[in-house]
Amino acid sequence: MDLTQSNVEPALELKKSRRIPITGSVRGGDEGYLVQDNTPDGWVEYWTGDPHAYALRIRGDSMHPRYRAGEYVVITPSIEAQSGRDVVVKLTNGKCLLKQLNWARSDEVQLLSINNGYAPMTIPREEIECINRVAGAVGADSMVF
């Protein structure tokens, strides 16, 4: 028996984290708003291959305890949002909501909050600018300058 041979293959190389720009904040709640610009307020380290990824600081409590105010969500707009996933929804009136996508139809979308204190929201498609997938979150202490 040859003891120099192994049946173990080398592990795949792990994705490297990269700096994702923090471009504003998103409010979790019915009265959500987006404060966003193209000049990053800082960066967070995250593992994503999406070249268009960006991060938003969380404000509000509609997605508590999954996300807490002060943390950052990383948004990957190049990856399609699916039902059951967390999303950031930008509305044509300037609001921006952090919610869970319950279902999407050709004429309307229903969003849920994790916090039971908020009712489901059904929004007509014509009021939605875009729906972007949340890849994950990092803590409030993850911001780098």
Which domain CATH number covers 54?
A: 2.10.109.10
Dump the DSSP string for 80-103: ---TTSEEEEEETTS-EEEEEEEE
Note whether residue 10 is domain-resident.
no
Q: Are strands 54-60 and 72-76 parallel, antiparallel or unpaired?
A: antiparallel
pLDDT at 60: 77
Q: How many domains are there within the chain?
A: 1
pLDDT at 28: 62
Note whether residue 106 is domain-resident.
yes
Distance (Å) of CA 61 to CA 6, 99, 113, 117, 134: 52, 11, 9, 9, 16
> Which residue range is the domain that position 107 belongs to?
18-140
pLDDT at 115: 84
Note whether residue 95 is domain-resident.
yes
Note whether residue 86 is domain-resident.
yes
Note whether residue 73 is domain-resident.
yes
Note whether residue 4 is domain-resident.
no
Which position has the token pair 């967070």? Answer: 44
pLDDT at 46: 94
pLDDT at 117: 85
Per-residue confidence in pLDDT tens, the chain, 145 aa = 556 677 777 777 666 788 999 988 876 655 555 556 556 779 999 999 899 999 998 887 778 888 888 899 999 999 999 999 999 999 998 888 889 999 999 999 999 988 888 899 999 999 999 999 999 999 988 888 7
pLDDT at 72: 93
Note whether residue 78 is domain-resident.
yes
